[in-house]
Chain A
Amino acid sequence: MADVELKRVSKRYVHGRRTTETLRDVSLHVRDGEFVSLLGRSGCGKTTLLRIVGGFVNADGGEVLVDGAPVSQPGSDRGMLFQHPMLFPWLTVLDNTLFGPRATGRNSPAARARAMELLQIVGLGGFEFHYPKQLSGGMMHRAAFARAMMAEPKILLMDEPFGALDALTRAGMQQFLLDLWNRRRFTVVLVTHDVEEAVLLSDRVAVMAAGPGQIVETIPIELPRPRTYEMSETPEFVQLKRRVRQSVEQTPARGAMVGMQLTAGG
Chain B
Amino acid sequence: MGEEQAQTPAATPPGIALDEPRFGTRLLRRFAAVDWSRIGMGTLGIVALVIAWWLVALIIGDSVFLPTPAATVGTLVHYLTHPYPSQGDTLIGNTLISLARIVVGFTWGALAGIALGALMAGVRPIRLIVDPLIELGRPLPPLAFIPLLIVWFGIGEAPKIILIGVGVIPVMVVSVVAALDAVPEEYVEAALSLGATRRYALLHVRIRAALPAMITGLRLAMGMSWTSIVAVEMIAATAGLGYVILEASNYLVTPMIFSGILLIAVVALVLDGLLRLLRRLVAPMG
A interface residues with partner B (beta carbon < 8 Å)? 54-56, 73-76, 78-80, 82, 84, 86, 88-90, 94, 99-100, 103-104, 112-114, 116-117, 119-121, 125-126, 128-129, 131-134, 147-154, 157, 183-186
List the B side residues contacting A94 at CB < 8 Å. 20
Q: Roughly how many angstroms separate A157 CA and B192 CA in the complex, as a whole number?
A: 13
Contact between chains at B12 and A120 (CB < 8 Å)? yes
Beta-carbon contacts of B209-226 to A below 8 Å, as 1s and 0s?
101000000000000000
* Smallest Cβ-Cβ distance to B1: which chain A residue: A186
* Interface positions of B (Cβ within 8 A of A): 1, 5-6, 8-9, 12-16, 18, 20-21, 184, 186-187, 189-197, 200-201, 204-205, 208-209, 211, 282-286
Could you tell me if A116 and B5 are in contact, using CB atoms closer than 8 angstroms?
Answer: no
Report which of A78, A89, A113 forms a contact with B193, defined as CB distance below 8 A.
A78
Cross-chain contact B12 with A103 (CB below 8 angstroms): no
Contact at A74–B285, with CB atoms within 8 Å? no
Contacts of A82 in B (CB 8 A): 186, 189-190
| CB-based closest 4 A-B pairs | A76-B195, A103-B196, A100-B194, A74-B192
Chain A nearest CB: distance from B90 CB in Å?
Answer: 43
Q: Which of B191, B193, B197, B209 contacts A90 (CB 8 A)?
A: B209
Give the docked Cα–Cα distance between A94 and B200 (Å). 19
- Rounded to whole Å, the gap between the CB of B192 and the closest CB of chain A is 4
Measured between C-beta atoms, what is the minimum distance from B28 to chain A in Å? 15
Q: Report which of B20, B191, B195 forms a contact with A129, defined as CB distance below 8 A.
A: B20
Inter-chain contact B15/A117, CB cutoff 8 Å:
yes
* Interface contact B193-A75, CB-CB below 8 Å: yes
- Measured between C-beta atoms, what is the minimum distance from A102 to chain B in Å? 8
Cα–Cα distance between A154 and B190 once the two chains are bound (Å): 16
B5 contacts across to A, CB distance below 8 A: 183-186
Q: How far is the CA of A49 from the CA of B21 in the complex (A)?
A: 44
CB-CB under 8 A from A120, the residues of chain B are 12-15
Separation of A120 and B1 alpha carbons in the complex (Å):
19
Q: From residue B21, how far is it (CB to closest CB) to chain A in Å?
A: 7
CB contacts (< 8 Å) of B193 on chain A: these are: 54, 74-76, 78-80, 148, 151, 153, 157
In chain A, what residue has the closest Cβ to B9?
Answer: A183
Partner of B189, one of A56, A128, A152: A56
A150 cross-chain contacts in B, Cβ below 8 A: 194
- Please pick, from B6, B187, B191, B285, the residue contacting A184 in the complex, using a CB distance under 8 A: B6
New A-B pairs, 19, CB < 8 Å, besides A76-B195, A82-B186: A74-B189, A76-B193, A80-B189, A82-B189, A99-B191, A104-B195, A112-B16, A113-B14, A116-B14, A116-B15, A116-B18, A121-B8, A129-B20, A131-B284, A148-B193, A152-B6, A153-B193, A157-B193, A184-B5
Contacts of A73 in B (CB 8 A): 192
**Contact between A86 and B285, CB atoms less than 8 A apart:** no
> Do A121 and B9 touch across chains, with their CB atoms under 8 A apart?
yes
**Which residues from chain A contact B14 at a C-beta distance below 8 Å?**
113-114, 116-117, 120
Residue from B6, B16, B21, B187 with most neighbouring chain A CB atoms (10 Å): B16
Q: Which residues of A contact B16 (CB under 8 A)?
A: 112-113, 116-117
